[in-house]
């Protein structure tokens, strides 16, 4: 199917190089990596290489990498481990704009498990309220979990600074780097984070494979009790083919990091400036000075994001809206609400998230599609009169 795919924060195309790397292990090399014979260890060797490649992308060591099934599993495993390591501590800190993998887990722990949870607010540009965060830290805090970069706006949080403060106070620090990985440099040693989640399907590996980094020395308990796999922390025969794919994807992500911050960023900026200058009453959500290079969250006043998506879909353009669509609601997402984005533009927000597979021609098609589409929707909108929002 011919599509213009600009929804890479939702998921990505599996890179051809990744598919090629995986295929022999789907067919010919089917041995169990734990077997004693050479045929099995062919796979074992490949998994060790993949672990090294994942570690290399974030400047960790292979022993610090646990393979999991998704970013959500990595996030849950990290937080549950933190809680069980400090059973006497009953306070948790996160932000108001996390992905549901953290947000809903923290709400559950607060509502059902007796934890006191601080959801640190953000300002209108999506920047973290550091005073509230630092004032909330206490001896009772078991873990702080903050996303490295926001999936909707791309806004980047000051992870190194917060990790250092957490370290000074002796509080475990986890970061959900599912969106940051492969888009900005990540160095777990330089930043000093204790745990970090990343997910394969956001970086051109298949869906269903991810990783959790756990800093050496942390007494991380087993979360799938079974065999000796993943150093006994996550038992169960490995998802060999996908892990091999994740390794390759991490190698490519490292190679492509510069491309992401030059070519992809330029495309995003080009799309943004054309949309802002050619469609009136349009605004960008989030801190444009400190954002992922591939992400654009843009609000069109007086129209519904879902209607825009439908009109773009007719041209094969894939993007996301800024509504809380996962909950079946057309309300703006919790991220846009936390940022207090005015209702008029929050409702008409679209997220474009690019990859190095996108082209300038595709950006032109998006703009040429949106100019008449937004105009048409505004003609029908009860909130639009005489060229402006009423
Ligand atoms: N964290 C963030 C910031 C995300 O954007 C996502 C997915 O969109 C996840 C976690 C969950 O990752 P997965 O889909 O691999 O469970």
Tell me how far the alpha carbon of residue 98 lies from the centroid of ligand 1, in angstroms: 10
Tell me how far the alpha carbon of residue 200 lies from the centroid of ligand 1, in angstroms: 10
In DSSP notation, 201-253 reads GGTTS-TT-EEEEE-TT--PPPSB-SSSGGGGTB-S---HHHHHHHHHHHHHH
Q: Which residue has the higher pLDDT, 33 or 343?
A: 33
Per-residue pLDDT, averaged over 162-182, amounts to 98
Long-range contacts of 283-289, Cβ-Cβ distance < 8 Å, separation of 24 or more: 283/345, 285/126, 285/152, 285/153, 285/322, 285/336, 285/339, 285/341, 285/345, 285/346, 285/349, 286/125, 286/126, 286/150, 286/152, 286/153, 286/154, 286/155, 286/339, 287/125, 287/126, 287/127, 287/153, 287/155
User: What is the reported pLDDT for 322?
Assistant: 80
Does residue 318 carry a catalytic annotation?
no
Does residue 154 have a pLDDT over 90?
yes
Which atom, in ligand 1's list, is nearest to the CA of 199? 15
Does residue 96 have a pLDDT over 90?
yes
Short-list 323, 326, 274, 329, CA closest to 101: 326
Domain 16-255 belongs in CATH node 3.30.1360.120: no
Each residue of 246-287: pLDDT tens digit?
999 999 999 999 999 999 999 999 999 999 999 999 999 999
- Percentages (nearest 5) of helix, strand, coil residues in the chain: 45, 20, 35
Per-residue pLDDT, averaged over 326-347, amounts to 86
Per-residue pLDDT, averaged over 357-362, amounts to 98
Q: How sure is the predictor about 389, in pLDDT bands with cuts at 50, 70 and 90?
A: confident
Each residue of 206-230: pLDDT tens digit?
999 999 999 999 999 999 999 999 9
Q: How would you list the strands of the sheet with 320-321, edge to edge?
A: 282-284, 295-300, 349-353, 320-321
Tell me how far the alpha carbon of residue 389 lies from the centroid of ligand 1, in angstroms: 35
Mutational pocket test of ligand 1: of 9, 103, 184, 199, the residue with most ligand atoms within 8 Å of the beta carbon: 199
CA atoms within 13 A on the CB side of 40: 8
Tell me how far the alpha carbon of residue 178 lies from the centroid of ligand 1, in angstroms: 6
Short-list 146, 144, 142, 164, CA closest to 155: 146
Does residue 334 have a pLDDT over 70?
yes
Q: How sure is the predictor about 387, in pLDDT bands with cuts at 50, 70 and 90?
A: confident
Q: How far apart are CA 388 and CA 317, in angstroms?
A: 26
Q: 257-389 has which CATH code? A: 3.90.1150.10
Does residue 326 have a pLDDT over 60?
no
Short-list 113, 75, 328, 310, CA closest to 214: 75
Q: Which residue has the higher pLDDT, 328 or 53?
A: 53
Q: How sure is the predictor about 324, in pLDDT bands with cuts at 50, 70 and 90?
A: low
Q: How far apart are CA 270 and CA 367, in angstroms?
A: 10
Each residue of 133-151: pLDDT tens digit?
999 999 999 999 999 999 9
Q: Whose CA is nearest to atom 13 of ligand 1?
A: 71
Per-residue pLDDT, averaged over 302-320, amounts to 96
Q: Whose CA is nearest to atom 12 of ligand 1?
A: 71
Q: What are the phi and psi torsion angles at 128 (to 5°)?
A: -65, 140
Here the tokens at position 71 are 């970013």
Which atom, in ligand 1's list, is nearest to the CA of 147? 3
One of 70, 250, 318, 325 is an active-site residue; which one? 325
Q: Mean pLDDT score of the chain, rounded to an integer? A: 96
Per-residue pLDDT, averaged over 288-317, amounts to 97
Does residue 327 have a pLDDT over 90?
no
Does residue 325 have a pLDDT over 70?
no
Q: Whose CA is nearest to atom 8 of ligand 1?
A: 10
Q: How sure is the predictor about 35, in pLDDT bands with cuts at 50, 70 and 90?
A: very high
User: Ligand 1: residues within 6 Å at CB?
Assistant: 70-72, 75, 99, 101, 147, 151, 176, 178-179, 199, 201, 210
Can you give the residue ranges of every domain in the chain?
16-255, 257-389
Q: Whose CA is nearest to atom 9 of ligand 1?
A: 71
Q: How far apart are CA 55 and CA 58, in angstroms?
A: 6
Per-residue pLDDT, averaged over 345-374, amounts to 97
Here the tokens at position 179 are 């969106």
Mutational pocket test of ligand 1: of 9, 202, 245, 246, the residue with most ligand atoms within 8 Å of the beta carbon: 202
Tell me how far the alpha carbon of residue 380 lies from the centroid of ligand 1, in angstroms: 36
Tell me how far the alpha carbon of residue 378 lies from the centroid of ligand 1, in angstroms: 33
């Amino acid at each position: 199917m011919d599509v213009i795919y600009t929804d890479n924060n939702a998921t990505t195309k599996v890179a051809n190089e990744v598919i090629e790397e995986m295929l022999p292990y789907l067919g010919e090399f089917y041995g169990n990596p734990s077997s004693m014979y050479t045929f099995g260890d062919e796979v074992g060797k490949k998994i060790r290489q993949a672990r090294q490649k994942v570690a290399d992308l974030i400047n960790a060591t292979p022993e610090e990498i646990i393979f999991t099934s998704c970013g959500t599993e990595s996030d849950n495993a990290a937080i549950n481990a933190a809680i069980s390591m400090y059973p006497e501590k009953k306070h948790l800190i996160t932000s108001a704009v996390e992905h549901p993998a953290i947000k809903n887990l923290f709400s559950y722990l607060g509502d059902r498990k007796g934890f006191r949870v601080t959801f640190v607010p953000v300002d209108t540009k999506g920047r973290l309220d550091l005073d509230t965060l630092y004032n909330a830290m206490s001896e009772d805090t078991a873990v702080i979990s903050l996303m490295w970069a926001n999936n909707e706006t791309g806004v980047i949080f000051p992870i190194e600074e917060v990790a250092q403060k957490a370290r000074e106070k002796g509080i475990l620090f986890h970061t959900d780097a599912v969106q940051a990985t492969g888009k900005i440099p990540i160095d777990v040693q330089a930043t000093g984070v204790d745990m970090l989640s990343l997910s394969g399907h956001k970086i051109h590996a298949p869906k269903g494979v991810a990783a959790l980094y756990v800093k050496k020395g942390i007494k991380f308990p087993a979360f799938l009790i079974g065999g000796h796999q993943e150093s006994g922390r996550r038992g169960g025969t490995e998802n060999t083919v996908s892990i091999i794919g994740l390794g390759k994807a991490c190698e490519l992500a490292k190679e492509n990091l510069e491309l992401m911050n030059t070519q992809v960023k330029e495309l995003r900026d080009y799309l943004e400036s054309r949309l802002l200058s050619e469609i009136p009453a349009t605004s960008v959500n989030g801190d444009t000075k400190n954002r992922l290079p591939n992400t654009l969250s843009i609000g069109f006043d007086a129209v519904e994001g879902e209607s825009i998506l439908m009109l773009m879909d007719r041209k094969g353009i894939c993007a996301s809206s800024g509504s809380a669509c996962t909950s079946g609601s057309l309300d703006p997402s919790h991220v846009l609400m936390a940022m207090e984005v005015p209702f008029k533009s929050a409702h008409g927000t679209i997220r474009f998230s690019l990859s190095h597979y996108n082209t300038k021609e595709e950006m032109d098609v998006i703009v040429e599609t949106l100019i008449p589409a937004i105009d048409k929707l505004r003609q029908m909108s009860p909130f639009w009169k005489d060229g402006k929002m009423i």
